[in-house]
Each structure stands twice: as structure tokens, then as C-alpha cells.
Amino acid sequence: MSGDANTDFDLAEFHAEAVGTPSHEDVSEMRELVCETLRDAGLEPEVDELGNVLATRGGSAGESETDGDADGPHIVLNTHMDTVAPHVPYERDGDVVRGRGACDAKGPLAALLAAFLRVEPTAGRVTLAITYDEETLMTGAAGLQETLAPSADGFVVGEPTNLDVCIAARGQCEGTVTIRGEGGHAAQVPAERNAVFGLASVLEALRRYDDESGPDEDEVLGAPKLTATMLEGGEAPNRVPEACTVTFDRRSVPPETADSFRADLEAYLKAQDRVPDGLEVSVDLIRPDTPFPKPFVTDADDRLVRTLRDASGGDVRPFGAATEAGFFAADAPTVVFGPGVLEDDEGGVAHSEREYVRLPDVRAAADALEKTLVELVG
């Protein structure tokens, strides 16, 4: 995975090709673009068994003394190559690039890749780790947590942060609350056994959950957030359904996990007076066999944070969306950083039809990352 790289890398050209490459349904073409770029720079990238792209510069492969110091810090640069649907074609107007992935996260990817190729580690090593399913299941990041994170001394996760250094993010999971009662003719089922009537009690309990039972506010991330997002139940206007379902979105803060939240919420709903006695209630996670983004907080005084802050000139703050960073933060100091914004004064940017990034910001992110790596690994 390691080797000597040259710096003949055109950031704007790579970014244009990346944004023009659809990766909302299949990342194969985008993965090959990343691998080809690394090979053109004289490196031998590895695609792991999950589909992540990995490359290391420095002493991790132990190829020679000059490749770096295996005993020095190991810094990992991570972002993702997939995007949300639908694909939006590449378009450039001066310094502004529009298109799907322009800022989330092919702008950060271009900056990370540029910095990775520029730096010659002499007192440590740098690994580029690009995942393939951040926008869906995050199994790529969960796999890296097992194989890569234990050896790392710091992670920089590329996302649109407007060049701010983000040291924390809330976790995220989705699930359902199912209310079960008696199904039958609308003229026959008593109200206390009607699951539809039970919705009112459940929705009010969801509204009160964090005030009465949820974890305390985190001093960096603030309060957790529980949001009811969908309702489902019933097939005919003259028949009472056996069950109704409320779908929720949970944004968590430490130390809460998806599993602990599910168990705590179910116990809370089953407590006296929160759901009518004639009804049953259960809580289930959606896709429980897949990983959920975890909440994390990195110490603002950590050397990685201070070095990147000084190099970028950005603020230190929490990140406003779910991210793969939480998979790595338990093993090493982790920050989220990159060009572009999640939203601006006109509304949403990332994931929207108007997604864009400013090329000077992509270049500034690359420069800040290069300075940070030089400071940390030589």
C-alpha cells in the first residue's frame, strides 16, 4: 500500500472528474478513479474485502527506513466516495463547482488526496482510507473501525465544514414504535383497544421522553433530539387496524448508543399511564444488523485539533450532521474537516439539487491539511 508519490496532481481536474462520475447507485467507476489517481502517483492502493480504498505513505509497510518512522504518529485521512441520489451533472461557473458530490464529499476527497500526495512522512505515516457506503449503511467505516482504527493516532474525516474544525457530532439511528390493539369493524372495536387512538399517547410520550428520561445535555453537542417522522396504519375507513406504527429519527449524545436508546425508550413507553392499558407497545430499530453513526466528542485541546485549527484559521465547533467519524473516535482523536457547507442562507446545499463548492476553499482545505500533516508526521 505504500510507496513514493509525486505531486503531479491537478486538484481541480480530479474534482471535476469525480463530480462528473455518478456514484449514487454504484461506486465502481468512482473507486477506479481514486485507485487510478493513486497509481499514477506511483502508489499501489489496496481495495479491502468490503470495498474501501486504502493507501499508506510512510513506515507502516516497513519497506525501508526512508519511507517513514513506524514508531511515529499514524494519521488517517478518511472520507467517502458515494453520494445520494439523484446524480446532478458537473457544472463550473468560475470558481464555483456545482453537481452531486461537489461538497459531499468529493470536494473534501480532492483536498485529502492532494494533501496525502504532497506530504513525505519522515516521522510517522499517513493512511488514506476512502469508504464506499457512508450515505447508506456505513459498513465500510465499521470495518475500518476494526482493522485500521486500533493502529491510528488521529483521524481527519472529510465533510463540508466550511473549513472549520469540528470536534463532535451527534449519533443517529432510526426506528419504529408499534402500537398493537384489537382489529375489527369500526362499529365494534372499543376506543381503549383502538391502536389509532393510542397514537396520541405515544406521540406525546415521544415529545416528553428527553425531558423525563433521556440523557443529560452534552456540554459540546447540547441535547439529544427525538423526532417522529412517519405514521402508518389502517387499510380501510370502516375498519380498525390491529396495529399502527410511528417511525422516528434519533440524534444521540454520549454515552447513549442505538441499543441503549431502544431499550430505554421501550421501557419508558411501557411505564404506567404512558400508553392506555388496553394496548401493547414495542420499539424496534430499522436495519438493526447494520452499524449506526455513533456520537463522539474530541478534546478541543488535542494536538490534532490545535494544529488543524491553526493551519485552517477555522472555528472549533460541532458538526451538524451524522458522520463516520464516530466509528473512529473511541480509538483516536478525531475531527471532521473540509471545504463546502451543509447549508447556506438560501437553504440546504449538501444533498440538494443546488449542491456546490468553491474551488478556492477546496485548495485552502488541501493546504491546511498539508500543513497539519507536515507538523504531525514530518
DSSP string, 319-344: -SS--GGGGTTTTS-EEEE-SS-SEE
- Report, as an integer, the average pLDDT of 194-206: 94
Q: What is the pLDDT of residue 63?
A: 41
Q: What is the pLDDT of residue 106?
A: 97
Confidence of residue 5 (pLDDT cuts 50, 70, 90): low
How far apart CA 140 and CA 290 sit, in angstroms, is 11
Per-residue pLDDT for 349 more than 90? yes
Confidence of residue 64 (pLDDT cuts 50, 70, 90): very low
Confidence of residue 3 (pLDDT cuts 50, 70, 90): very low
Q: What is the pLDDT of residue 239?
A: 95
Q: What CATH fold (topology level) applies to the domain 171-285?
A: Alpha-Beta Plaits (3.30.70)
Start-end ranges of CATH 3.30.70.360 in the chain? Answer: 171-285
How far apart CA 227 and CA 271 sit, in angstroms, is 20
The DSSP 8-state label assigned to residue 222 in this structure reads B
Counting residues of the chain whose pLDDT is more than 90, the rounded percentage is 88
Beta bridge partners of 347: 344
CATH number of 11-169+295-377: 3.40.630.10
Start-end ranges of CATH 3.40.630.10 in the chain? Answer: 11-169+295-377
How far apart CA 302 and CA 104 sit, in angstroms, is 26
How far apart CA 228 and CA 253 sit, in angstroms, is 18
How far apart CA 107 and CA 352 sit, in angstroms, is 15
Q: How crowded is the C-beta side of 234, counted as CA atoms within 13 Å?
A: 14
Which has more confidence, 82 or 273?
A: 82
- CA torsion 138-139-141-144 (nearest 10°) is 180
